[in-house]
Amino acid sequence: MIRKNDHLTLNNKVDLVRGDSILINVFLNIGTDSRPVQYQAQDTDVFFFSLYKPNHVFEQGVVKKVLTIENIDENGDLSILIEPEDTLNLHGGQYYWMVKMVHHEKDEDDVLVPNGSVDTIIRETSFYIYR
């Protein structure tokens, strides 16, 4: 059974038992916290999820996922599935998670090419794994 946001608090902190599943739905806000406006994902957008240890950076994630328009749900939210194998071999304790979006363009061969624009969707946020 996949739990949808059961372990996600209002400030995006996640608590998860090692080896459990969770489906995290991320609202793609291009407005402000007080006046949210949902970004409409494009087929040229690529999203990157990273779960990383304290004192490490996004690029050093122990769990990394690449997500596309295929991971946008019926509400326009980005759906990130954390599966049992993603955390099964991790030690319990404090981690952090972050989501970034890299804008792409299609070249003449219809291949996605980054256009240099990167947006942080979820800033460094607590992700605690229980043993």
CATH of the domain at 107: 2.60.40
- Unique residue bearing structure tokens 């256009």: 115
Q: Are strands 14-17 and 112-130 parallel, antiparallel or unpaired?
A: parallel
Q: For all residues of the chain together, what is the average pLDDT?
A: 90
Query: Which amino acid appears at position 96 of this protein?
Result: Y
* Number of independent structural domains in the chain: 1
pTM listed for this prediction = 0.88
The residue segments making up the domain with residue 99 are: 3-130
Check whether 41 has a pLDDT greater than 70.
yes
Distance separating alpha carbons of residues 80 and 6, to the nearest angstrom: 13
Check whether 93 has a pLDDT greater than 90.
yes
